[in-house]
Amino acid sequence: MADLNNTYHTKVVFLDRDGVINQYPGDREYVKNWKEFKFLPGVFEGIRKLNEKGFKIFVISNQAGVTKGLYSQKDLDVMTKKMLAQIKKHKAAIDGVFYCVHQTEDDCECRKPKPGLLHQAIQALGKKPDISLFVGDSFIDMKTAKAFGAKTVLVFSGKEKISNRKNWEFEPDYIFDNLLIAAHYICSHYG
């Protein structure tokens, strides 16, 4: 069996944004500007822990609010820049941010649950990871992870609730309350 602690392994954690990094705005709602962007507790520490264990971290998020005209690409870029600056200020780092701004009916390859954004992130990385996990707050994220071949990590800090479990299409590989708890587990078992 391969040594998972071997530093030569390429390890990737994909993170959804809304409901994982920042507060979930609600079903069919969007974080439209920086004023509405509120970091969830423990996010900086969770990302920092993953950084310390050598994980490459990519944010993967559907942001159809742009093409719906609810906020502009510039608004999204400003939010992203400020999000990354705050994460850096807290001595943590994100290796890349990948958004799909298309709507469902556009039937693009980058809109989750299709794995196109994950493939874009891996292309930017330049090599296929030995270990990949996707931390998300919805079953769209879990389906995306499965389609890509990543471990599914569901967190209850956003959209999905444990009370909905009977309706789940499958059981995620891991379930945690939030990113910080997920990061602790990922670091101790895959780090």
Active site residues: 16, 18
Residue 76 CB neighbour total at 10 angstroms:
21
- Closest C-alpha to 142, from 105, 167, 107, 108: 167
